[in-house]
A and B are shown apart, each in its own frame.
Chain A
Amino acid sequence: MAREPAVLRIFVILVALAAGAILLLPPPASAQEEVASAIRRYKEKEASTGYYEEYEVRPRRQRPFVEIPGVQVGLFPYSPSAAEVRVRTRLADSHMGIAFYTDKTCVACHPQEAKDIHTVRANLTCRQCHGGEPIASIQYFNSPMNPIRKHAYVCAKCHEGSSASFASYIIHEPAPGSMAALKSFPLLYIVYWFMTVLLVGTLAFFIPHSFLTGVRELFTRKKEAKNDADTTH
């Protein structure tokens, strides 16, 4: 008698949990396009197709236990709805809450970012591309730097006809031989070290080779000159 309601109660709890679990699943997407590559997608008809990748649309409702790569708080992965960690790459004002922000120059905190061709050669200032305050995070949906509009909002200011593919040029490229490059731009790293090894290898071979040729010929000449005086032929 007494066991039946208990079994029923456990059953109800399990059903409720299962129903709750369904809520944890990501909502079905309205359109799931198979994208061969960014180039192909962006080639000509980027906007006219109406298809967008996930990072291009407004953030959907936050899901607990869905981690953001590299961010973990406590025992559980970072959960935007449960924690108060600021992920700087996703803020409307990326410099929000930084002490004495207004007294700082950009390069005070971003020295590596001032070593690119745009800054060094074309003498661009940071704000010419990144805009005035507040400077939005790179992954903030409404940022002008969002890949869906960067080519039009930023690059095309100077580069007429800039496409989204063109805008995937890495402005602040890492030092090509650094471990940072290996992580974020492996091909650049590989090309750099391939060319460096080729350069050093070629010179390391041919400079001693030429020098030894010179030294050896110096001795040969002297010997032959002596021989010529002795023998006539």
Chain B
Amino acid sequence: MTPTPRIKRFSVIERLFHLSLMITFLLQTATGFSRLYITTAWGKKINAVFGGYDNSLLIHKWVGVVMMVGFVIHTVYLFTRINWRTPVKSVFGEDSLVPNIADLKHFGQRILWFFGLGSRPRFSRWTYWEKFDYWAVYWGLPLLAITGVMLMYPMVTSRFLPGWSLNIAALLHRAEAILAVTYIFIVHFFIGHLRPSSFPMNEAMFSGSVPLEEANEEKPAWVESLQNSGRLKMVSAAAPVLWYRVVYFVFGYAVLLFGVYLLINGIMYARQVGLH
């Protein structure tokens, strides 16, 4: 039995970024919700897990600091990924996550494809919704970081801004957090786990590679450009070992279930928060 050919999709460092984001994001959701829902029975329960109202804030702050550091490291990493000999082509090329005109075209084609009115758009390395996923986090993190730091140091903030900016910061922090949580736990989880081509789990972000056949079907323009530039051989990858697959399946499902648990309870208890 010959192993099916696979191509590399995510490097080790990219997977580590994703893994650390998963863990920190989940911790932030749990500690943040435990405070947002402190007036409800459920909120008190998860708050107790983190050692109470003050302790959960302490954890929330430190995990936030870790996330901010991660964001800075990631941004530095982004700059190392640019090919500085051809920066424009590298940033706006088809290997890049920067949105371009083709994304709009693909979106139109995909709507037609949904209803069987056209053929599948020929996606390149990143589809437009994957780009949206990426940039949603990329602007959400600094927004949460800035408002979070404002709330972390209210006295310092009120030296530079009027005190009522803390009202705005608190609202923005909460609203952006709810936006991120609902998007990740509904849309991102559906794309990663539930849709037929991913079910039971899209392993690319953990194994780092995808079967060539699957890539050819989903992202034909990517495989084609790899072939044309002769890089296809260079990016071939080995299949993930079995124990590793078991580990990340268990981990992935644990995160999925925990996220859905937080989301459902969050929606159920939303009316009892007691704030405006």
Contacts and interface: CB of A to CB of B under 8 A. Distances in A.
B20 interface: no
Interface of A is mostly: helix
Nearest to A196: B175
Contact of B186 (A38, A168, A207): A207
Interface residues of A, number: 49
A207 B164 CA distance: 35
A210 B132 CA distance: 13
A199 B158 contact: no
B159 A43 contact: yes
Nearest to B274: A120
Interface in B152-168: 154-155, 158-164, 166-168
A159 B163 CA distance: 13
A121 interface: yes
Interface in A97-134: 115-117, 120-121
B88 interface: no
B134 to A, nearest CB: 14
A166 interface: yes
Contacts of B72: none
User: For chain B, which range describes its interface: under 10, 10 to 19, 20 to 34, or 35 or more residues?
Assistant: 35 or more
A159 B154 contact: yes
A191 B157 CA distance: 19
Interface in A3-49: 37-39, 43
Given A168-B162, A169-B164, A169-B166, A199 B171 contact: no
Given A115-B274, A174-B276, A162 B155 contact: yes
B275 A166 contact: no
Contacts of B179: 195, 198-199, 202
A225 to B, nearest CB: 11
A115 B276 contact: yes
A118 B163 CA distance: 15
A209 B187 CA distance: 9
Interface in B110-127: 113-114, 116
B182 A203 contact: yes
Contacts of A163: 155, 158-159, 163
Interface in A175-219: 175-176, 178, 185, 187-188, 191-192, 195-196, 198-199, 202-203, 206-207, 209-219
A170 B155 contact: no
Contacts of A121: 35, 38-39, 53
Contacts of A120: 39, 273-275
Interface of B: 35, 38-39, 53, 113-114, 116, 129, 132, 136, 154-155, 158-164, 166-168, 170-172, 175-176, 178-179, 182-183, 186-187, 190-191, 194-197, 273-276
